[in-house]
Structure 1
Amino acid sequence: MRTIIFATAIRYLTPLFLIFSLYILLRGHNHPGGGFIGGLIGSIAFVFHVLAHGSDRTVNAYFRVKLYSKGKPDDDTPPEHMWRLLSANTWNRLPNYPQPEWRYHIVRLRPAYVMAIGLFLAASSGLLGLFQGMPFMTSWWMEAEIPIIGALGTPLLFDAGVYLLVLGMVLKMIFTMSKE
């Protein structure tokens, strides 16, 4: 089912699915919705992207980040190195500063890590009430309200954990099934 029409449509629909899933997540503590359905809607974006482009391209596009850094010359102290690096990047490379090689590290966000972060968030939202001398999973709300979202509290933290847990679980299933 890899047609050019489907691939083009998914390129535009993936960000819309993700934005809508975050909207459902954020409105879930006051209205129907929340972490579970938001996570399912967010995972639909990646399911369609895998169907349109394959799992390798989806992982490369959304779950792999290249972090670039420059090597530090041995004779510089850290403040001198930072100033020279800043000035070299700002003023188009100073000629008297030796330019070290660019190094990069690839960081991949695996679905198991997403699940672990989600489980940690959901469990830690219950511990906040416990630290205040209340029963486990007692909700705690901030006094200030954000205009569109409303009041923030531990139910939103719990929903965010469930969101990441569901998203990671569906991603793990999809990436595993697409490899076979």
Structure 2
Amino acid sequence: MVKDNIWGLFQKVFYVYRERLYTINFGEENSVSPKIDISFKRITNENYKLVENLRDGQYVKEFKRMLDIGDFGVFACVNDIPVGYGWAKLENSRDYFYIIQNCYLCRFFVSSEYRGLSIYPCLIKNIMCSINKKYRVKKFYIAVEHKNTSSIYGINKIGFKFLQENFFIRSCKITFNKFQLRK
């Protein structure tokens, strides 16, 4: 009984994340075609508030913060209206779980009514091409929650290879065991 109470208290104070880390070298990715006509827009200080149409406004401040620290974001659009987004964190960017020395792809979202149309893998590929063109980055990483089979399917479609499974312990917005993504 005491053991259960201690474990319950631990789980309220500390959260354990279990993520699968994948990697790919630029130029090794598979060709992916969307099942719908989509376009891509770089997320900027002029348009970042468009996220409020996707996620009830809950990420507007977070998008501004990510732009302010130099992260690279892209909206996926249908008829010029954002239906999804994704981000890339470049070397020395701040992240909850990783110390970045290459390019870490993260924070992807596609509206539920547009899922299953290959928007997610096309968005990843667009960001990879943009980052490679602008910064000449050759190695990309992406981490996926271990139970997120849809995202795992999407990154496998592109050609990402499983690297390792990581466990992170967080409490009070502090991660106690960051991993370093090496060149």
Name the TM-score class by shorter chain: under 0.3
Larger Rg: 1
Whose helix fraction is larger, Structure 1's or Structure 2's? 1
Whose strand fraction is larger, Structure 1's or Structure 2's? 2
Q: Return the TM-score normalized by structure 1.
A: 0.24
Q: Which has the higher contact order (CA 8 A, sep 6+)?
A: 2
Q: Return the TM-score normalized by structure 2.
A: 0.24
